[in-house]
Chain A
């Protein structure tokens, strides 16, 4: 753990916090894109170390939160079909669909299994030839390579009873969408380090330039985040808007070429609806037509799905950094992790859940 401890060192953090305070001459608003970063910020109380006026906005970077409602409903419909083994990462199981969630489906008899990797699901398919095994392929650029690999492996090994319900999302189009909104409050971005470890940084450069907004590729530990914030503040104060890399120990400008190759081979860019935000063009990944035989959406015709979000939930505004979770009238009362109304309360990386878990006030 020495590797992690180093980035949680209190002295290092305090030095960065002091440097930020010394440097910031006015109020700036910096958005951390990734839910993992939001979680760290709230967990370690990093915002409490910042000078007044420097505000952190929580971004849309939690794949659980932004998976569209109809996709959850589709997952529920597929999981309920006889003979199906539905595999998913654990944190998707509590996300509410229109009427239910995967945990309830499991308790009602659906064969829903928690896996740690899509390759586990592939193995389940190999061992259960008579059944259809469906994996819920959710996530950003970080999980796409492993998911792509599982599909490619399924085809290579002729495992025909394995398919994927793909709901991948991409980060750069979301940043563009936020910056293009008339309600945008973002002065600078902390981009998610692990996304860039896979995809590199090239896609960020035109965004930073076009919107004159600094983007600093940043890690997840307290010292990473404070250093990333410091780098943003320096750029803002100097009037620069560039892509910089705080997370150089892992992210390289060119990314991981092998990972990108397998993603491009199996997936193509598609439009995607983001839960709470709406349609963003070219913001998702779907399976290429060559892999249609492993595409759960095509294989299981679950009919038209009509969805309904609870009207009180403002998670869309939370995901765009326009409102804080505590501004939601349902926060901590009608909406809690046990009875979530929106996905941002259920996901371990969601902003509402982070606020509920670490700084709920009143009782």
Chain B
């Protein structure tokens, strides 16, 4: 079934144009929701078995598993929506271990009064995103909360993937001398969502970078590039991702500020809001720590892949971390001075003046 028939079929047969409390009650309306919205969109072999758990063939080798909750306001933003975000986010978390994404579990918390048409749009884009990465949606759950007790839709996705033989991609594998690469410009997702939320019309349409990265990682691996670590810089942006890895790997990292790609519109909006683009969320970019001898090949592979619009080397892992001391990230500024690139205390808050 294509997106088109799916959209034509619904919501006509549904009795309600908005989500009702009873849609989460386990009764007739719940079944209607499953039959008419979730099954046509997600239904594969495992889901069609309609059992309490999905039963799938056990793969050879190691499996990777991840789960994440998604809350985003607005639900629809330039370049995506909460559904695409929830699926791509989980695909990307799996891909960062080198795993090929296989199975997905989806749990919805819906707010009473949510237009059915919105739910259908979200479900369709989840289906499309999962399908594009060869992921099967195998099980799910729906709850409905009172009007005013939710932001329309909350989605939790749990993904399982299969890690290819001989691949270990993790922070502990990072070594001094590794090159730090990013696959594209940073901060588009955070700014696209923020500017839409604040009703700011940004000159030049800015779309979220929300995209799956499993294809890009697979391309790197099949070209013989073995990253020591991969990370998608989501909440907290590049700065948080680098700090987490520096701490977990016990290494110091140095970044060249001028090398970090930031789109002009994103940079301008950050000036306006008083935000630092290095801390703004991405949803379709990765940071790769690769051995020095693989760096050139890694950039070449990325450049040839549509999911990496602007691959560049932004820094390297230093070899001077004192043993037992937590790793730190420094930034070499445009002026040639060094400063600490710290972890943010909490959410970045727009400033007064």
A residues with CB within 8 A of B: 1, 4, 8, 10, 13-14, 36, 42-46, 48-49, 63-64, 89-94, 114, 116, 138-140, 142-143, 194, 222, 336-338, 348-349, 356-360, 363
- Beyond the given A43-B333, A93-B349, A116-B273, please list 9 additional residue pairs across the A-B interface where CB-CB is below 8 A: A10-B335, A89-B352, A90-B351, A91-B351, A94-B345, A114-B349, A116-B350, A194-B353, A359-B340
Asked whether B150 is an interface residue with its Cβ less than 8 Å from the other chain, the reply is: no
The smallest C-beta distance from B299 to any residue of chain A, in angstroms, reads: 24
Q: Are A13 and B351 in contact (CB under 8 A)?
A: no
Q: Once bound together, how far apart are the Cα atoms of A357 and B329, in whole Å? A: 11
Q: Which residues of A have CB within 8 Å of B337?
A: 44-46, 48-49
Residue-by-residue, is B313-335 near A (CB-CB < 8 Å gives 1, otherwise 0)? 00000000000011010000111
Q: A116-B198, A360-B342 are in contact. Are A10 and B353 (CB under 8 A)?
A: no
Q: Are B340 and A360 in contact (CB under 8 A)?
A: yes
Q: List 5 A-B contacts (CB under 8 A).
A: A36-B353, A89-B351, A349-B353, A358-B339, A359-B339
Q: Are B335 and A14 in contact (CB under 8 A)?
A: yes
Q: Which residue of chain B has its CB nearest to the CB of A61?
A: B353
B residues with CB within 8 A of A: 198, 264, 267-268, 271, 273-274, 325-326, 328, 333-340, 342, 345-346, 349-353
Q: Which residues of B have CB within 8 Å of A222?
A: 334-335
Q: Once bound together, how far apart are the Cα atoms of A55 and B110, in whole Å? A: 58
The smallest C-beta distance from B107 to any residue of chain A, in angstroms, reads: 25
Q: Which residues of A have CB within 8 Å of B274?
A: 348
- Which of B273, B328, B333 gathers the greatest number of chain A CB atoms within 10 Å? B333
Q: Once bound together, how far apart are the Cα atoms of A363 and B351, in whole Å? A: 28
- Which of A10, A336, A357 gathers the greatest number of chain B CB atoms within 10 Å? A357
User: Can you list the 7 inter-chain pairs with the closest CB atoms, starting with the nearest?
Assistant: A45-B337, A90-B349, A337-B345, A358-B339, A89-B352, A48-B337, A1-B267
Number of A-B contacts (CB under 8 A): 87
Q: Are B349 and A94 in contact (CB under 8 A)?
A: yes
The smallest C-beta distance from A11 to any residue of chain B, in angstroms, reads: 10
The smallest C-beta distance from A141 to any residue of chain B, in angstroms, reads: 9
- Which of A1, A10, A48 gathers the greatest number of chain B CB atoms within 10 Å? A1
Q: Are B339 and A356 in contact (CB under 8 A)?
A: no
Q: Which residues of B have CB within 8 Å of A89?
A: 350-352
Q: Are B335 and A139 in contact (CB under 8 A)?
A: no
Q: Once bound together, how far apart are the Cα atoms of A132 and B351, in whole Å? A: 24
Q: Which residue of chain A has its CB nearest to the CB of B270?
A: A1
Q: Once bound together, how far apart are the Cα atoms of A41 and B248, in whole Å? A: 30
The smallest C-beta distance from B337 to any residue of chain A, in angstroms, reads: 3
Q: Once bound together, how far apart are the Cα atoms of A356 and B328, in whole Å? A: 13
Q: Are B335 and A358 in contact (CB under 8 A)?
A: no
The smallest C-beta distance from B252 to any residue of chain A, in angstroms, reads: 11
The smallest C-beta distance from B342 to any residue of chain A, in angstroms, reads: 5
Q: Are B345 and A91 in contact (CB under 8 A)?
A: no
Is chain B's interface secondary structure helix, strand, loop, or mixed overall?
loop
Q: Are B349 and A348 in contact (CB under 8 A)?
A: yes
Q: Which residues of A have CB within 8 Å of B334?
A: 8, 10, 44, 222
Q: Are A1 and B335 in contact (CB under 8 A)?
A: no
Q: Are B350 and A114 in contact (CB under 8 A)?
A: yes
The smallest C-beta distance from A148 to any residue of chain B, in angstroms, reads: 15
Q: A63-B353, A114-B350 are in contact. Are A43 and B335 (CB under 8 A)?
A: no
The smallest C-beta distance from B326 to any residue of chain A, in angstroms, reads: 5
Q: Which residues of B have CB within 8 Å of A64?
A: 352
Q: Are B268 and A1 in contact (CB under 8 A)?
A: yes
Q: Which residue of chain A has its CB nearest to the CB of B350?
A: A90
Q: Which residues of A have CB within 8 Å of B267?
A: 1, 4
Q: Once bound together, how far apart are the Cα atoms of A78 and B342, in whole Å? A: 34
Q: Are A45 and B339 in contact (CB under 8 A)?
A: yes
Q: Once bound together, how far apart are the Cα atoms of A90 and B346, in whole Å? A: 12
Q: Which residue of chain A has its CB nearest to the CB of B322?
A: A363
Contact of B350 among A44, A91, A336, A363 (CB under 8 A): A91
The smallest C-beta distance from A244 to any residue of chain B, in angstroms, reads: 22
Q: Which residue of chain B has its CB nearest to the CB of A67?
A: B352
Q: Which residue of chain A has its CB nearest to the CB of B342?
A: A357
Q: Which residues of B have CB within 8 Å of A36?
A: 353
Q: Once bound together, how far apart are the Cα atoms of A348 and B352, in whole Å? A: 9
Contact of A357 among B271, B336, B340, B351 (CB under 8 A): B340
Q: Once bound together, how far apart are the Cα atoms of A63 and B352, in whole Å? A: 8
Q: A1-B267, A348-B274, A358-B342 are in contact. Are A49 and B335 (CB under 8 A)?
A: yes
Q: Which residue of chain B has its CB nearest to the CB of A348?
A: B351
Q: A1-B268, A356-B342, A363-B325 are in contact. Are A91 and B335 (CB under 8 A)?
A: no
Q: Once bound together, how far apart are the Cα atoms of A359 and B267, in whole Å? A: 24
Contact of A4 among B271, B333, B336, B353 (CB under 8 A): B271
Q: Once bound together, how far apart are the Cα atoms of A43 and B349, in whole Å? A: 17
Q: Once bound together, how far apart are the Cα atoms of A356 and B352, in whole Å? A: 20
Q: Which residues of A have CB within 8 Å of B352?
A: 63-64, 89, 91-92, 138-139, 143
Q: Which residues of A have CB within 8 Å of B333?
A: 43-45
Q: Once bound together, how far apart are the Cα atoms of A357 and B346, in whole Å? A: 13
Q: Once bound together, how far apart are the Cα atoms of A45 and B339, in whole Å? A: 7
Q: Which residue of chain A has its CB nearest to the CB of B340?
A: A358
The smallest C-beta distance from A228 to any residue of chain B, in angstroms, reads: 15
Q: Which residues of A have CB within 8 Å of B346?
A: 94, 338
Q: Which residue of chain A has its CB nearest to the CB of B347?
A: A90
The smallest C-beta distance from B68 to any residue of chain A, in angstroms, reads: 23
Q: Which residue of chain A has its CB nearest to the CB of B336?
A: A10
Q: Are A140 and B349 in contact (CB under 8 A)?
A: no
Q: Once bound together, how far apart are the Cα atoms of A14 and B334, in whole Å? A: 11
The smallest C-beta distance from A270 to any residue of chain B, in angstroms, reads: 20
Q: Are B353 and A43 in contact (CB under 8 A)?
A: no
Q: Once bound together, how far apart are the Cα atoms of A337 and B350, in whole Å? A: 16
Q: Once bound together, how far apart are the Cα atoms of A90 and B353, in whole Å? A: 11
Q: Which residues of B have CB within 8 Å of A90?
A: 349-351
The smallest C-beta distance from B128 to any residue of chain A, in angstroms, reads: 34
The smallest C-beta distance from A319 to any residue of chain B, in angstroms, reads: 16
Q: Once bound together, how far apart are the Cα atoms of A222 and B274, in whole Å? A: 16
Q: Once bound together, how far apart are the Cα atoms of A308 and B264, in whole Å? A: 46
Q: Which residue of chain B has its CB nearest to the CB of A93?
A: B349
Q: Which residue of chain A has its CB nearest to the CB of B268?
A: A1
The smallest C-beta distance from B260 to any residue of chain A, in angstroms, reads: 13
Q: Which residue of chain B has its CB nearest to the CB of A357?
A: B342
